[in-house]
Chains A and B, each alone.
Chain A
């Protein structure tokens, strides 16, 4: 009887817990749904003037006002803010048909519209935030290339080019901390709210743009019809870094009989290194034994050693069990620029990543891409000469282990472990020796072949 009574009391008191809370806004108080310390973010966004729509099939909400749009979904802790995926401080939840969150998460969603949620969950305030971030623009010229660096904000603007100008659309307002002096292709700059407009000389356009960290900045590399993209002459040397894929806790792909990729890759890498040493080429491995090495540490080692060539050795696996053959990858062009520059800047701790250095890394990477393609082609041709290898060609893909390499780099897949016949073959010592011979011969051939790309007069030659 007492239990029945308690349930009846709880049922009757339930509506009292699911109360609305009064939000203080510049227009006066307003009621929004609240549960505990979670507030209705859709209501808050509407109070901030955003138009909020719900796409039932996608399960996501879209809030928009003026030039800004925020997309979010209950159950997640990510939002797309003006087209960019942005982590939220906390999750969004669906409670009684209301999308709710804590104050910090609500503030993150309100931020792009110039608002913030302050106070406490029981006495929240919706406040306008107008403090524009102070930015400054520096100009650097090297090797006939002008690079603009925007400092002072972590925001990643949307870049829109027009004849004679380029507009950077930020999420929140920005201000120039000091006037911009016309220099080179940059004729001037002005800010209106969230838009920074850079006036450029006729025919100048943005060749590349990307964010960098530590300190946060945004880089624009300018180009024009008259600018010949400088190509650096790669430094020919004798140090090759071989990267046996996976290792330690990361076993990599597994064959039908439990064959582990990490064992095959290190065996092939060791044998390749031995053949290179015999040919007078110094070789280093990113791992000598069965240890765990992160993807970025592998490339970082090659960068620190100023290696001439970086070759990552792998065995493949496919959801299609009949897949077989060898293939060689190099970095895809669209994936290479920003990450390479950032990684290079991070890894070269002895020389801080100033603007000139970034330009040099950038130029070096253009040259590396061409040479990486040549390396991949040479490796694949040597593998194709082996018996029992099905040629799957050379391809480009944004592999993390190739990102940030400041020298020609490739990733070779010597066969498919998911194919039982190839798995058995890859385990055979003589096959591993043949693979190593092919890889070593390919690297030696690559090193002996002159680099085809000339260096235009007057351009800088980067030293990796």
Chain B
């Protein structure tokens, strides 16, 4: 037991010092309004129907209706829901909008009605052809604007960054829906 005495003594001194310092510290900074501390009110879930756009073999976008158990009232969560339902893929057998396992990193909606959807970065050259880019941009824009009243345009960000282009389409700014690409 003898060799432990200095260690125990050191431990006691450290504890005492820590207690003294903690007691003498200024009061802690105010808690943030962020995720851990803000009490989020729990709304009553309101089911709803989304209209999503997916590509098909005629290289047009096709409408697909989808029941969702809860349709968020706020714009950002509703935009997020629409994108996540697009990411989940078509239930009617249409082709995927996003050719990589994308995740939604963040959603902003500006006062002007521009929605910014930040997706995880795709692998290189995974989005091919003008049609691949048009599908990515306009299936997203058409779906978001159709389901989120107040949103006029949509810009896709990748990995938290603005993207000028993936090779063809100008993605550097928000795009309005394009109903020319939708099958009649």
Contact = CB atoms under 8 A, between A and B. Distances in A.
Interface of A: 1, 5, 8-9, 12-13, 15-16, 19-20, 22, 31-34, 40, 42-43, 52-61, 69, 71, 73-78, 80, 82-85, 87, 91, 94, 97-99, 158, 246, 250-254, 261, 295, 314-325, 329, 334-335, 339, 392, 395-401, 403, 411, 413, 416-418
Contacts of A77: 160-161
Given A71-B109, A320-B57, 15 more contacts: A8-B14, A31-B27, A32-B30, A55-B76, A58-B80, A58-B106, A73-B106, A77-B160, A78-B118, A323-B56, A397-B178, A399-B130, A400-B170, A411-B168, A413-B129
A303 to B, nearest CB: 17
B59 A314 contact: no
A84 B181 CA distance: 27
Contacts of A78: 116, 118, 157, 160-162
Given A57-B74, A61-B34, A75 B106 contact: yes
A94 B34 contact: yes
Interface of B: 4, 7, 10-11, 14-15, 18, 21-22, 25-38, 40, 55-59, 72, 74, 76-77, 79-80, 94-97, 99, 105-112, 114, 116, 118, 125, 128-132, 134-135, 155, 157, 160-162, 164-165, 167-170, 175-176, 178, 180-181
A437 B33 CA distance: 66
13 contacts: A12-B18, A56-B38, A57-B72, A57-B74, A58-B74, A77-B160, A78-B118, A78-B157, A80-B110, A85-B162, A246-B167, A315-B129, A318-B131
Given A56-B35, A325-B59, A318 B95 contact: yes
B106 A42 contact: no
B22 A400 contact: no
A13 B18 contact: yes
B2 to A, nearest CB: 13
Contact of A395 (B25, B157, B164, B181): B181
Given A33-B32, A73-B118, A323-B59, A317 B112 contact: no
A43 B130 contact: no
